[in-house]
Structure 1
Amino acid sequence: MEIINQKQVDRLAAEIGKENVPVLLEIFLNELAGYESTLLSLEGQEQHAYLTEVSHALKSSAASFGADALCNYSILLDKNAKLGEQLSAPSCKKEMLDLLKKTHAIYQNLFSQ
């Protein structure tokens, strides 16, 4: 699965106007950086609770920006949390951090060109 869905990025730009994308993108990138920073600082039950919170929040924002890999992983974590399944925090944390970093880097490069 691709990290970003370029067709969704283009669709978003057409809907809101290409000139508005950088403003919203900056908000999205700051959101990703904040999630990453907080996730790095947590362990144990706090980490589990935060992963649940982040996965729920990212489902829609990642989908809006075409961040497909991040969106799909967030949907999976959110679904598991709603089913009452324990998230395997270390592996979930690692995967979420990897996707947050990759997504952030790709979007930053995409719009800084």
Structure 2
Amino acid sequence: MKFMNREKVEQLTREIGRDNIPILLGIFTGELVTYQAQLSKGDLTEKMSHMKEICHALKSSAASFGAESLCEFAIDVDAQVKGGKLREDQAQVDSMLANLSETHSRYIEFLESIK
């Protein structure tokens, strides 16, 4: 799995400037933490409701920042929602949490490396 496409991040850096990338990636990683918190509380029905919203939002932001694994997961879940095939599944929530966590770690490592 590719949690962070460095080429995409480097392209984004060229487009918006090196000084701006920490700001934008800081916002992105902050969102990932918020999503983890949302998926870690409540009953399964509540978690699935949050996951639907999160995946819809992540389709574009994860793609923009090169978070390929997270983007693919979000697209898959969103397609399940649109097709009426998403079922309450704690394993899917756990997979999303793991993906969010690993993606967050990779981007935090990257941010530390460019300071």
TM-score bin, normalised by smaller chain:
over 0.9
Contact 1:5 1:68 in 2 (8 A): yes
Pairwise mapping of residues 48-87 of structure 1 onto structure 2 (< 5 A)? 48-87=48-87
Q: What's the CA shift for 1:88?
A: 4.0
Specify the alignment match of 1:8 in structure 2.
8
1:21 and 2:27 correspond: no
Is the 8 Å Cα contact of residues 47 and 89 (structure 1) preserved in structure 2?
A: no
Please tell me the residue identity of whatever aligns with 2:83.
Answer: L
Aligned-partner Cα distance in 2 for 1:87–1:42: 17
Gaps of 5+ in 2: none
Partner residue, 1:97: 97
Number of residues of Structure 1 aligned to a counterpart in Structure 2: 113
Q: How far off is 1:80 after superposition?
A: 0.4
Structure 2 equivalent of residue 106 of structure 1:
106
User: Could you tell me which amino acid in structure 1 is paired with residue 97 of structure 2?
Assistant: L
When you count helix as a share of all residues, which structure comes out higher? 1
Identity, in percent, stands at 38
Distance 1:42 1:19 in 2: 39
- Rounded Cα–Cα distance in structure 1 between residues aligned with 2:56 and 2:89: 16
Runs of 4+ in 1 over 4 A off after TM superposition: none
TM-score relative to the length of structure 1: 0.95
Contact 1:32 1:100 in 2 (8 A): yes
Q: Distance in 1 between matches of 2:76 and 2:70?
A: 10
